[in-house]
Amino acid sequence: MIFHLDTSTTQPLGVVLLKKRVDANNSSELQKAFAQWLQQTSNFVFDCTKLDFIDSSGLGAIVSCLRKALEHQGDVKLAALGPKVAMVFELTKAKKLFSVFSNSSEAIQSFRTVSPK
Amino acid sequence: MKTLLVIKKQEYEWLIDLLPGVHPLLVPICNKPFIEFLVDFAILAGSDALRIVSDGVLGSVEHYCENGSRWGVEISYGSMRPADDIYTVIEKNRRFCLEERVIIISGFLFIRYNKKSEYASLFTSLPSGELLSCPHGSISLTGTSTTKTETPGTLPFSLAALDSIGKYYELSMEILRTGLTHYVIPGYSSEEDCYIGRNVIIQKSAEIIKPVIIGNNVQIMTNSIIDSNSVIGNNVIIDRESFISGSIVIGNTYIGEHLEVKNKIAAGNLLIDPESGTSIVMEDPHLLTAMTQSRVAGALLRRVVHALGATFLILLLLLPWLLLRPILGLQGKWKRKREQYFTRLPGKNVTLTNTTIECTGVLSALAKALSLDRFTLLFKVLSGKLALIGNQPLPVNPAIPLLPNTHAVYRPAVFSYAEAEEWPEIGIDTEIVEHYYAVHSDPLKDIAMTQKALFYRTH
Amino acid sequence: MNPIITLTLQANLRYVRIASIMACNVAEIFADFTCNSTDIAEFCHAYELSVSEAFTNSVRYAKPSQPEKQVTIRFSSDNSSLAVSIIDTNSQFNPVTQAPDISNYPEGGYGLFLIHRLMDTVSYTREDGTNILTMTKQATITHDT
Amino acid sequence: MNISEKTINNYTIISLKGILNASSAPKLKTYIAGMPDEQSLVIDLENVEFLDSSGLGALVGIARKKRTSRAVMKLARMNERVKKVFEITQAYTLFDIYDDVSAAAEV
């Protein structure tokens, strides 16, 4: 999990590169870290380029990140979902909760065009 | 007329990995096993005998088709070597091919036909030789025609090679959308684009949109939607609020709550995207249900409730057991057998004493009514090795060393959910029922189900 | 399980056919009352083969030091299944079996594998110096629908 | 078990009749051992009433011998009961199996 703050946008944007797996073993790690990041910004892009396995705990963690971001008037957008991960999102209807982009620069760009309040 | 089917293992092997547990020749297309389409075609073409030749294992195909008497055609089986060409195969089946005209279908092919067309007279009049071919196989005819007629310009049938999951999906959708009246499709149908099997339970709030094929013993739960272009196999449960569209749900699959299956193939715990061939395993129990349940707390509570329940039963049954066990033992009606069973943990087995009480006489009837045959097993609940109610313990089969992975939720128990629901205790239906309850139960329901199991076992 | 018949034979390959014919006949009589006619032949063949295999094994592993060795075949049944036990006094063996690697042209080692595939349950117990291999198969009762 | 022999083309046709089990398999092995190793065979199983794994083992043994001496061994006219044993053990993958003796003896 690599986190960096992108300041090229009007408001700082948290870009998170997720690791290979987000599952029952490490999903709490993501949730804990996310609470920290929320103190710096409320807008996030989760870059899923490297993510190739996700189970329901991982999915739950990502959904809970989204919920917290929404509570802070922010958003979590997803980028570069691999085929297997995309299937899990579709199957559980979680895909409808997120804006999904084919790569992270598109996702970052989308935060620029829609000016945050 | 006779028909010789030559299908090499190499041609269908790809399907084994994708849909494990079912022989590729028996893989359902619109709920009808693949081989049956060919059997139907052979019969339409006037065959009175059909031989299936392969270099792969045909055991389950033989078991399914038997000698063909069900269709009124004589079915036999032959073997070949992987390197054999079609001429060698014909030589190896010379006796079968002798004297009569033989249609030879070679390859893992689907034949598109229309049951209303006249094939029998067509095939007797066609000249010998190859009739149609495609990169993955061909259909040809031996012997000479008895009548002299003009060969028609186009034949009223065509070939579709099955060489990828995408083709399989496309073909199923093609039949579902446009070809249902061309074939014999299982199920009751009052409209030509809707087939429903036996014992199908559809909740009032569920919605079903044509064209659709639904198999036998299917449950479609509250508020779920079966959108158009779906094939639901036998013994399937579509749980609450789920949405199925343009998808094939192979038999014996459980689709959990709140799921959305769109343009996919679901088979057991596998979900396959036919376009890319990607598949994910839904072995994670949460993916089978709503995502938010707290599993750990539930598990602990369940264990406590089960242990309390078991203690209660032990106290209740101790006296009858102490009284009846020695008597029945002396009468030789108390039979015990120790066998190895799978536990929840892979690789770990548990030895259970399987008691059977011979049901003759008042005392053994009483012992059976009180479920004394399960008495000793109750102690395994206290030690946490078994649950009070759950799945029937699976015996360790040396041929299958690991727990079959169809059991995404497997909780070996003293009593089984199937017993509580009075389902037959063997067969695939049981598995589905147990699976359903294993996913849906909570500790309180478990107590109620245990009561039910105790009650039904006495009747 | 009610006992039906017990047969004790000298541990000699000469008698393997007696054992397997007997198994076939007992199975036929049993199946006649329980299953549909179509499955009888297959049911009987399973017993004929399995007993042939088990008896052959018992004779093959009999210690040559005791030439008067015997093998006992015991049949018993309940309403729907027939059990046959092969009892001998050979040394203990490991009944777990796997498929022989056919590509090596093995001349033996198919016996227990076949039994496992033909029968529903196969259990092995060792009691007071005897081996008891019990094979059971459920007579398929086909329901008319 | 009865063993009879005839010749078609370059093949010796061995016809078996009766039971092929542990007690009769040695007879078949001895019979085959009395023939030259290079002799190609067709074994006609039509009248084999019963075959168990000892019988199968004997046939597999002959096949192996013929293979090492570059001779051919084929099987012909297997009935359903015999076929079952070949199927469970997958031994059918080792043999060329014909439904007709003369077809087997041709190639």
User: What is the pLDDT, as a whole number, of residue B403?
Assistant: 47
In whole angstroms, what is the distance from residue B11 CA to residue B105 CA? 13
Q: What is the pLDDT of residues B345-390, one digit of tens each?
A: 666 778 888 888 877 788 888 888 888 888 888 888 888 888 888 8
Mutation for testing the D interface, residue in C52, C53, C55, C101 having most D CBs under 10 Å: C52
Contact (CB, 8 A) for B218 and B201? yes
Residue whose entry in the numeric block shows the structure tokens 């008495």: B375
Say whether the A–D interface has 3 or more Cβ pairs within 8 Å. Answer: no
**What are the domain boundaries of chain A?**
2-113
Interchain contact, D98 vs B94, CB within 8 Å: yes
Q: Which residues of D touch C22 (CB under 8 A)?
A: none
Q: What is the CATH number of the domain that holds B217?
A: 2.160.10.10
Q: Which two tokens stand for residue A94?
A: 């979680």
In whole angstroms, what is the distance from residue B393 CA to residue B386 CA? 9
% of residues, chain B, pLDDT over 70: 86
User: What is the pLDDT, as a whole number, of residue A55?
Assistant: 84
- Strand extents, DSSP E, chain C: 2-10, 70-77, 81-88, 121-127, 130-138
In whole angstroms, what is the distance from residue B246 CA to residue B230 CA? 5
Q: What is the pLDDT of residues C20-69, one digit of tens each?
A: 999 999 999 998 877 666 678 889 999 999 999 999 999 988 877 776 88
Q: What is the CATH number of the domain that holds B67?
A: 3.90.550.10
Whether complex ipTM tops 0.85: no
Q: What is the CATH number of the domain that holds D90?
A: 3.30.750.24
Q: Which residues of D touch C49 (CB under 8 A)?
A: 52, 84-85
Q: Which two tokens stand for residue D9?
A: 């083309």
Q: Which residues of B touch C45 (CB under 8 A)?
A: none
- Of C83, C71, C72, C73, nearest to C27 by C-alpha is C83
- Do B176 and B39 share a domain, yes or no? yes
Out of B181, B200, B223, a domain closes at B181
- Do B57 and B121 share a domain, yes or no? yes
- Do B64 and B165 share a domain, yes or no? yes
- Do B205 and B163 share a domain, yes or no? no
In whole angstroms, what is the distance from residue B409 CA to residue B349 CA? 16
**Hey, CA dihedral for B417, B418, B422, B425, is it positive or negative?**
negative
- Do B279 and B352 share a domain, yes or no? no
User: What is the pLDDT, as a whole number, of residue B100?
Assistant: 85
- Of B401, B26, B31, nearest to B249 by C-alpha is B31
Count of domains for chain B: 3
pLDDT at C143 over 50: no
Q: What integer is the mean pLDDT of B201-218?
A: 94
pTM: predicted TM-score of the whole model, two decimal places: 0.74
pLDDT at D14 over 90: yes
Q: What is the 3-state secondary structure (H, E, C) of B192-232?
A: CCEEECCCCEECCCCEECCCEEECCCCEECCCCEECCCEEE
User: What is the pLDDT, as a whole number, of residue B458?
Assistant: 63
User: What is the pLDDT, as a whole number, of residue B80?
Assistant: 96
Predicted confidence band at A107 (pLDDT cuts at 50, 70, 90)? Answer: very high
Q: Which two tokens stand for residue D97?
A: 């199996």
For chain C, helix (H) and strand (E) counts, in that order, are: 3, 5
Contact (CB, 8 A) for B223 and B206? yes
Q: Which two tokens stand for residue B202?
A: 């559809």
Contact (CB, 8 A) for A4 and A36? no
User: Taking CA atoms, what residue in B is nearest to D78?
Assistant: B78
Q: Which two tokens stand for residue B46?
A: 């006037």
In whole angstroms, what is the distance from residue A80 CA to residue A77 CA? 10
- Do B128 and B163 share a domain, yes or no? yes
Interchain contact, C38 vs B66, CB within 8 Å: yes
Contact (CB, 8 A) for B242 and B260? yes
Q: Which residues of B186-207 are buried (b: 16+ CB within 10 A; e: fewer)?
A: bbeeeeebbbbbeebebeeebe
Class of domain A2-113: alpha beta
Burial of C26 per CB tally in 10 Å (0-12, 13-18, 19+): buried
Burial of C16 per CB tally in 10 Å (0-12, 13-18, 19+): buried
- Do B133 and B226 share a domain, yes or no? no
- Do B151 and B276 share a domain, yes or no? no
Residue whose entry in the numeric block shows the structure tokens 């008319």: C144
CA neighbours within 13 Å on the CB side: how many for C100?
22
CA neighbours within 13 Å on the CB side: how many for B341?
23
User: Taking CA atoms, what residue in B is nearest to A62?
Assistant: B291
Q: Report the first-to-last Cα separation within chain D, whole angstroms.
A: 28
What is the domain extent for residue B284? 189-288
User: What is the pLDDT, as a whole number, of residue C144?
Assistant: 40
User: What is the pLDDT, as a whole number, of residue B288?
Assistant: 46
Interchain contact, A56 vs B262, CB within 8 Å: no
For chain B, helix (H) and strand (E) counts, in that order, are: 13, 30
Decide which of B99 and B208 is more confident. B208
In whole angstroms, what is the distance from residue C135 CA to residue C121 CA? 6
In whole angstroms, what is the distance from residue B256 CA to residue B179 CA? 31
What is the domain extent for residue D82? 2-104
In whole angstroms, what is the distance from residue B161 CA to residue B284 CA? 35
- Do B165 and B227 share a domain, yes or no? no
Mutation for testing the D interface, residue in B8, B23, B79 having most D CBs under 10 Å: B79
CA D66 to chain centre: 11
Q: Which two tokens stand for residue B253?
A: 């699959």
In whole angstroms, what is the distance from residue B110 CA to residue B12 CA? 12
Specify the 3-state DSSP secondary structure of B262: strand
Domains and CATH numbers, chain C: 2-138 (3.30.565.10)
pLDDT at A27 over 90: no
β C121-127/C130-138 pair status: antiparallel
Segment holding B417, helix H or strand E: helix B417-420
User: What is the pLDDT, as a whole number, of residue B284?
Assistant: 59
Residue whose entry in the numeric block shows the structure tokens 């139960």: B441
Residues 61-120 of C with CB under 8 A from B: 78, 96-99, 116-117
Rg (CA), chain B: 27
In whole angstroms, what is the distance from residue B195 CA to residue C92 CA? 58
Q: How many CB atoms lie within 10 A of CB A114?
A: 10
- Do B143 and B193 share a domain, yes or no? no
Residue whose entry in the numeric block shows the structure tokens 């049956």: B36
Out of B143, B164, B181, a domain closes at B181
Report phi then psi at B264, rounded to 5.
-130, 170
Poorest-confidence range of B99-103, B279-283, C133-137? B279-283
Q: Which residues of C touch B368 (CB under 8 A)?
A: none
CA neighbours within 13 Å on the CB side: how many for A24?
10
Q: Which residues of B touch D92 (CB under 8 A)?
A: 79
Q: Which residues of A touch B291 (CB under 8 A)?
A: 56, 59-60, 63, 92
β B219-220/B201-202 pair status: parallel
User: Taking CA atoms, what residue in D is nearest to B76?
Assistant: D80
In whole angstroms, what is the distance from residue C53 CA to residue C20 CA? 9
Q: Which two tokens stand for residue D101?
A: 């003796």
- Strand extents, DSSP E, D9-107: 11-20, 41-51, 73-76, 96-98
pLDDT at A113 over 90: no
- Do B35 and B165 share a domain, yes or no? yes
Interchain contact, C123 vs B399, CB within 8 Å: no
Give me the amino acid identity at C115.
I
pLDDT at D82 over 80: yes
Distances in whole angstroms, Cα of residue A108 to Cα of each of A10, B416, D90, D106: 11, 53, 59, 75
β B254-255/B237-238 pair status: parallel
CA B169 to chain centre: 18
Contact (CB, 8 A) for B20 and B26? no
